[in-house]
């Protein structure tokens, strides 16, 4: 974010506190994050950094047998040790022109009192410890709080905690004994009765193994030290303990809070809550880094819009706010299914409390979850944009499925805008700005939609009437608009037809 804003000509100061001495975690960054790295202009640098490749997940969830879910051939993510990853991102921000102050612990944000309206007279005032025992002050037009769980701005009054549960992660590093078989190159995620285990290799011989527990619900071995507690939890697992059977625990056990929270508001006059400063999702999804990067990219776009197009300031901040909210809710829905599966299998309060809380945000019902065979909590998560409808729901929507079957059966097409089609102008990202852009809406999708899985719907509606065969329409879309996969294209077309935005009236059917 600092890198982008600096590249776009803004004066950026990045304040970050010195390393705390707390052991760094290793985290898994899935392959789809590459798209974000590319948006941020750092894909090559990440590739060159030599992080251990992430090739897929071993999953033992609920009462399902152990299964392996490899990422698509040729695509790998990264297993990053956060110290190294964060250091690289700071270097890249600095290289782009951001001024990085690495010994600055921010204490508070105070708005400068002023009389007149106008953003130049409304700077934010950040107070921080300067590393030499002094307090320094920085004034800025925008403050982007990226302080993670510390939540310098959020914690004051905006943070909303999930009171239903508390999660603590106990992490240890294991090294394979000499002569042991080569490390399994996958992550492992495994639920057990009153917690879950998460492990990932960071080299051919070394792997992190983390036990996720709830001090209020997990039945813990108390009073005998963190190491014994950790090992006692490990003993409850079926797979994780075998994974490290030929390895030695070479680190102390570090503790990390991993409880979930969100914010009542993600942006306001002159500030934005970015990444974990705004919300924290269950690490089960392995999507926290991806979510933080997406948030950082959109925050940069929103701030750039506010400065370059002051008339769009309110729209831009509201767009950021609604996207962050939608992202958090989307993740809650994603994890709710896994909580319910684990509740069904283990029947413990650890899981039922989580299932109940996540269910509050409108998760699908059990029969629907049970219909989907593959359980992979750490599978790739699609990060929604505010104006994109729920893709998973659309895939099962009877109107969309019917439209898809009719499209496949039709010998020819003649696609015309449906009488109920509306074209409202709503916020969307174009390049580095948020603009008001044409969307499509109908009685069935009243909130308006611009893209569905990267398919540009207004462009598709515009050109649809000129073709009488779907393959020709698809080829023309590829030539004139953008590359999208055939399944995504057919899905978008089926939504347009099923949701009353297009009609298909082949010649013989016309009156």
Ligand X SMILES: Cc1cc2nc3c(=O)[nH]c(=O)nc-3n(C[C@H](O)[C@H](O)[C@H](O)COP(=O)(O)OP(=O)(O)OC[C@H]3O[C@@H](n4cnc5c(N)ncnc54)[C@H](O)[C@@H]3O)c2cc1C
The DSSP-derived string for 213-238 is E-TTTS----SS-HHHHHHHHHHT-S
39 vs 449, beta carbon nearer ligand X: 39
288 binds ligand X (CB under 6 A): yes
Q: Which secondary structure element, helix H or strand E, spans residue 32, and what is its range?
A: none
Of 256 and 265, nearer to ligand X (C-beta) is 256
Is 195 one of the binding residues for ligand X (CB under 6 A)? no
Checking phi first, is residue 171 left (phi over 0); if not, alpha (psi -120 to 50) or beta? beta
Asked if residue 102 binds ligand X (CB under 6 A), the reply is no
- Residue 7, SS3 per DSSP: helix
Q: In the set 31, 275, 364, 498, which binds ligand X (CB under 6 A)?
A: 275
> Least distance to ligand X from the beta carbon of 99, Å?
14
User: How far apart (Å, rounded) are the C-alpha atoms in residues 111 and 126?
Assistant: 8
Cβ count within 10 A of residue 459: 16
Q: Does 165 bind ligand X (CB under 6 A)?
A: no
- In DSSP terms, 437 is beta-bridged to 426
Q: Is the Cβ of residue 62 or residue 283 nearer to ligand X in the bound state?
A: 283
Closest CA to 7 of 90, 98, 73, 85: 98
Question: How many angstroms separate the first and last alpha carbons of the chain?
Answer: 56
The answer to whether residues 28 and 85 touch, using CB atoms and an 8 Å cutoff, is no
Helix (H) or strand (E) holding 504: strand 502-504
**By CB under 6 A, is residue 210 in contact with ligand X?**
yes
Residue from 283, 427, 491, 500 in contact with ligand X (CB under 6 A): 283
The minimum distance between CB 21 and ligand X, in angstroms, equals 11
- Helices H, strands E: what count in the chain? 16, 27
Assess 27 for contact with ligand X (CB under 6 A): yes
Considering only residues 213, 258, 400, 470, which one is a binding residue for ligand X as defined by CB under 6 A? Answer: 258
Cβ 57 to ligand X, closest distance in Å? 11
Q: How many CB atoms lie within 10 A of CB 414?
A: 18
Cα four-point dihedral sign 494, 498, 499, 500: positive
Q: Does residue 100 belong to the site contacting ligand X (CB under 6 A)?
A: no
**Contact status: 289 vs ligand X (CB under 6 A):** yes
Residue 105 interacts with ligand X (CB under 6 A)? yes
Indicate which single residue of 76, 109, 146, 272 sits in contact with ligand X (rule: CB under 6 A): 146
The pattern of x and - marking residues 28 through 67 that bind ligand X according to CB under 6 A reads xx--------------------------------------
What minimum distance in Å lies between the beta carbon of 173 and ligand X? Answer: 13
Q: Should residue 286 be labelled a site residue for ligand X when binding is judged by CB under 6 A?
A: yes
Rounded to the nearest whole angstrom, what is the least distance from the CB of residue 461 to ligand X in the complex? 37
Query: Which of 126, 272, 287, 445 touches ligand X (CB under 6 A)?
Result: 287
Q: Which is nearer to ligand X, 258 or 440 (CB)?
A: 258
What is the per-residue DSSP string for 466-480? T-SSHHHHHHHHHHH
Would you say 17 or 193 has its CB closer to ligand X? 17
Taking CB under 6 A as the criterion, the residue among 39, 54, 144, 152 binding ligand X is 152
Q: Which of 260, 491, 424, 422 is nearest to 353 (CA)?
A: 260
Write the DSSP symbol of residue 503. E
């Amino acid at each position: 974010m600092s890198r982008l804003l600096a590249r776009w000509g803004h004066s950026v100061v990045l304040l970050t506190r010195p390393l705390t001495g707390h052991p760094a975690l290793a985290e898994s960054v899935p392959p789809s994050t590459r798209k974000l790295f590319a948006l941020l202009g750092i894909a090559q640098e990440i590739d060159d950094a030599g992080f251990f490749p992430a090739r897929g997940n071993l999953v033992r969830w609920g009462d399902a047998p152990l299964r392996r879910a490899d990422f698509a051939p040729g695509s790998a993510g990264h297993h990053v040790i956060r110290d190294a990853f964060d250091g690289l991102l700071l270097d890249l921000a600095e290289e782009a022109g951001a001024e990085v102050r690495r010994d600055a612990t921010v204490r508070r944000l105070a708005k400068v009192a002023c009389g007149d309206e106008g953003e130049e007279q409304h700077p934010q005032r950040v107070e921080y410890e300067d590393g030499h025992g002094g307090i320094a002050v920085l004034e800025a037009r925008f403050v982007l709080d990226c302080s993670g769980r510390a939540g310098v701005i959020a914690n004051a009054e905006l943070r909303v905690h999930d009171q239903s549960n508390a999660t603590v992660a106990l992490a240890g590093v294991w090294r394979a004994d000499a002569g042991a078989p080569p490390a399994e190159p996958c992550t492992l995620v495994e639920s057990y009765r009153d917690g879950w285990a998460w492990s990932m290799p960071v080299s051919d011989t070394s792997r992190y193994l983390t036990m996720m527990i709830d001090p209020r619900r997990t039945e813990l071995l108390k009073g005998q030290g963190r190491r014994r507690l950790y090992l006692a939890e490990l003993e409850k697992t079926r797979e994780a303990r075998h994974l490290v059977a030929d390895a030695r625990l070479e680190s102390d056990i570090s503790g990390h809070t991993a409880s979930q929270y969100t914010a009542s508001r993600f942006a306001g006059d002159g500030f934005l809550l970015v990444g974990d400063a705004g919300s924290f999702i269950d690490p089960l999804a392995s999507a926290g880094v991806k979510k933080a990067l997406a948030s950082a990219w959109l925050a940069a776009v929103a701030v750039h819009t506010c400065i370059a197009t002051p008339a769009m300031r309110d729209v831009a901040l509201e767009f950021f706010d609604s996207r962050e909210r939608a992202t958090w809710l989307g993740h809650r829905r994603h994890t709710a299914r896994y909580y319910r599966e684990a509740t069904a299998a283990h029947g413990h309060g650890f899981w039922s409390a989580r299932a109940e809380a996540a269910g509050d945000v409108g998760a699908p019902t059990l029969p629907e979850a049970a219909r989907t065979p593959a359980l992979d909590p750490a599978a790739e998560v699609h990060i929604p944009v505010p104006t994109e409808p729920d893709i998973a729901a659309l895939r099962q929507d009877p109107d969309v499925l019917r439209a898809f079957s009719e499209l496949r059966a039709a010998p020819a097409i003649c696609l015309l805008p449906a009488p109920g089609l509306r074209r409202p102008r709503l916020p969307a990202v174009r390049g580095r700005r948020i603009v008001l852009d044409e969307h499509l809406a109908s009685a069935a999708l009243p909130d308006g939609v611009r893209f569905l899985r990267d398919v540009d719907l207004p462009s598709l509606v515009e050109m649809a009437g000129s073709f009488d065969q779907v393959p020709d329409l698809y080829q023309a879309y590829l030539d004139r608009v953008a590359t999208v996969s055939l399944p995504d294209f057919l899905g978008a077309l089926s939504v347009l037809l099923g949701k009353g935005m297009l009609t298909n009236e082949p010649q013989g059917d016309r009156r």
